[in-house]
Amino acid sequence: MKNRLFILLLLGFTLLNAQNVKIDTVFVGKANAKEIKNYLKNRATVFIVVRHGEKEDNSKNPHLSEEGKKRAKNLAVLLKSVKIDEIYSSDFFRTKETLEPLAVDKKLKFKIYNPSKIPDFVKNDLIFNQSRNVISGHSNTNPVLLNEICKKSIYKDIPDNQFNDIFIVNVFKNREKIIIYHLLY
């Protein structure tokens, strides 16, 4: 935990010196359904980026384990009072199953994206129009997605055994300013 906090502080210092775009990353800690709305800014386009829940096994396209299903339900509870406009998932069982309880609750259909073509996904599919979007991805693709949204190479792969990260990305005025809240759930 201390190493993670140090990395985030170092990252924050690096980001403050980034050219053109002001990016602030704030590590908030444990996600709380009552307070999660505080991290969604009204005049921003919001992307809530989550990694899929725990998987049954290490096969190519596994389903969620029982623990992963619990995490998916917890995510839906965390976002219950949040208006969501779009839900995006890669076309894998585990990413879709992670967002399934939320999609059912919000009566939304998944939009599928190709995790190997993230620059195209950000450029062609994501709309920066003050909408609120949830995106489910993978330990090696979520950092690529975050970097592409920020137009900076900041985030590194998430450890394969870590499933509890939520990044709430608030993008203001065509990426002139970005605030990212990092929570754990």
3-state secondary structure of 15: helix
CA-CA distance, 149 to 98, in Å (whole number)?
A: 22
Query: Which residue type occupies 177?
Result: K
Query: pLDDT, tens digit, for every residue of 133-164?
Result: 999 999 999 999 999 999 999 999 999 999 99
Q: What is the pLDDT of residue 34?
A: 86
Q: In percent, how much of the chain has pLDDT > 90? A: 78
Contact, 49 vs 142, CB < 8 A?
yes
pTM > 0.85: yes
Strand pairing of 86-90 and 110-113? Answer: parallel
Strand residue runs (E) in 67-116: 86-90, 110-113
Domain 2-184, architecture per CATH:
3-Layer(aba) Sandwich (3.40)
* Residue 115: Cβ within 10 Å count: 18
pLDDT score, position 91 = 98
The residue that leads in pLDDT, 181 or 12, is: 181
Confidence of residue 21 (pLDDT cuts 50, 70, 90): confident
Tens digit of each residue's pLDDT (9 = 90 or more) over 66-113: 999 999 999 999 999 999 999 999 999 999 999 999 999 999 999 999
For 83, phi then psi, to 5°, come to -75, 125
DSSP for 144-162, written as a single string:
HHHHHHHTS----PPPTT-
Q: What confidence tier does 7 reach under pLDDT thresholds 50, 70, 90?
A: very low
